[in-house]
Structure 1
Amino acid sequence: MGIFSRMTDIINSNINSLLDQAEDPEKMIRLIIQEMEETLVEVRSSSARVLADRKAAARRLEQVQAEADAWEEKAKLAISKGREDLARAALQEKHAIEEELAAVEEELRATDEHIHQLNEEVAQLQQKLNDAKAKQKALLMRGKTVESRIKVKRQIHREALDGAFQRFEHFERRMDNLESQLESMDVGRDVPPDLAAEIDALAGDERINDELQRLKSEMQDKTGVS
């Protein structure tokens, strides 16, 4: 694609429309800006060459005009000397040079139009580039804003989850306490009443047996003494 064709496509393009169609708007606008900057460099280089050509054409125009004027002066001199034949020849040379002069003037006019067109297109492209950079800045700011909002949302959700887990743990502890209280109320109730009474009776019998044995021992001691 030629420089001017590509530049025209960029100038005529709608940046917002391109971004709407892009899967990655930030990447798309980076490519647009890069394309515009590269095109501007190429166009300015081309403009420099066109300006150099215009200067050369302007110098050539001055030279050809000077040659035409010189042949006219020679024709006048020949007439003054009565040499009409030489005057006619000088005018023929002037006529030939004037044809070249017309061609150089046309080249110069075309070059001026080309430069004018380049200036307009470069100005439009520069404006498009400024718009694209402004759009890029806006996209970057929107991206940062979205990232910040996502971080805040994630933090809020994390805090909400932490709070939920804390409430759940607190509820579990309350349930553990209630279950412990309930279990403590049932301590000792698993032993049958009769069994507990029998065990208590055995303990009483053992005390009585001990007391009976003590009395027997004391009586035996007394009997032996007598």
Structure 2
Amino acid sequence: MGVFSRFTDIINSNINSLLDKAEDPEKMVRLIIQEMEDTLVEVRSTSAKTLADKKELARQAEKFENDANQWQDKAELALNKGREDLARSALVEKKKCSENAEALRDELSHVDEHITKLQDEISQLQDKLADAKARQKAIIMREKTASSRLKVKRNIDSDKVNDALSRFDSYERKIDGIEAQVEAYDLGSKSLSDEIAELENDENIEDELAKLKAKMKPEKKSK
């Protein structure tokens, strides 16, 4: 099981699908980012400790290998001095050191595998974190815009607005009625300018009539 066992759903899933299921996408994306950042801190701490443990294991393995070499030298020395018993004991100690060194080297190979997986998981999490942060601002803007539109829609469809518009219509009809009354009073009442203008029109018509009569008289005589 990976070091992010509690975070597998985010590592293995698409952030879009998580947000689609959320009741509050803005809150959800904040929680996702916070959880990812907290997990990264934890993982980096674990990674640092693992690397320190690896170095300690490597030092211990190297020490056992050096001890094995020293016991080899001691066995050769004892054998050269005719102390086969001491040479045998030295070889026993060499064997112990070699086995310990080999066991630590095996452990180091497992640690290396663990570190490789850890780095892979860190890379995955960083990608998810970058994705979430890239979407965070857009999601917040979309949520605010949608909320504003919803408020406008509610106001447009509200009874208060409809009632106000109905009153406007009533006021306009009332004003139309008043204006009609004013125009009715103006009918039949002529101003001085209107009367003079009518006289001028009448005079023009009389002139036109006289000209027409004058034109028609010669035509009658010719017949």
Aligned mates of 2:101, 2:3 — CA distance in 1: 31
SS at match of 1:94: helix
The one-letter code of the counterpart of 1:56 is: E
Kindly state the Cα deviation for residue 7 of structure 1 after the two structures are TM-superposed: 3.4
TM value normalised by structure 2: 0.69
1:15 alignment partner in structure 2: 15
Give the partner amino acid of 1:73.
D
C-alpha contact (below 8 Å) 1:76/1:87 kept by paired residues: yes
The answer to whether residue 54 in structure 2 is matched with residue 54 in structure 1 is: yes
Alignment partner of 2:4: what SS? Answer: helix
> Runs of 5+ in structure 1 lacking a partner?
186-226
Aligned CA-pair RMSD: 3.4
Contact between 1:30 and 1:136, CA under 8 Å: does it hold in 2?
yes
> Pairwise mapping of residues 97-176 of structure 1 onto structure 2 (< 5 A)?
97-146=97-146, 169-176=171-178
On the 8 A contact 1:29/1:136 being kept in 2, the answer is: yes
Q: Percent identity?
A: 54
Which residue is 2:202 aligned to?
A: none
Give 1:111 deviation, angstroms: 1.3
| Partners of 1:3 and 1:42 within 8 A in 2 | no
Distance 2:80 2:8 in 1: 60
User: How far apart in 2 are the matches of 1:106 and 1:4?
Assistant: 25
Question: Paired residue for 1:85?
Answer: 85
- Structure 1 contact 67–94 (Cα < 8 Å) conserved: yes
User: Match for residue 63 of structure 1?
Assistant: 63
User: Per the alignment, in what secondary structure is the counterpart of residue 23 of structure 1?
Assistant: coil
**Separation in 1, partners of 2:4, 2:58:** 25
Report the TM-score, using the length of structure 1 for normalisation. 0.68
Q: Following the alignment from structure 1 to structure 2, what is the Cα–Cα distance between the partners of residues 19 and 8?
A: 16
Which residue type is aligned with residue 34 of structure 1? Q
Q: Aligned partner of 2:139: which letter?
A: L
Please name the residue that 1:94 is paired with. 94
**Gap regions ≥5 residues in structure 2:** 188-223
Asked which structure has the greater CA Rg, the reply is 1
Query: Quick one: which amino acid aligns to residue 9 of structure 1?
Result: D
Cα distance between partner residues in 1 of 2:144 and 2:25: 14
* 2:38 counterpart residue number: 38
2:76 aligned partner: 76
CA displacement, residues 56-77 of structure 1 (integer Å, 9 cap, x when unaligned): 1111111111101100111111
Task: Give 3-state SS (helix, strand or coil) of 1:76's partner.
Answer: helix
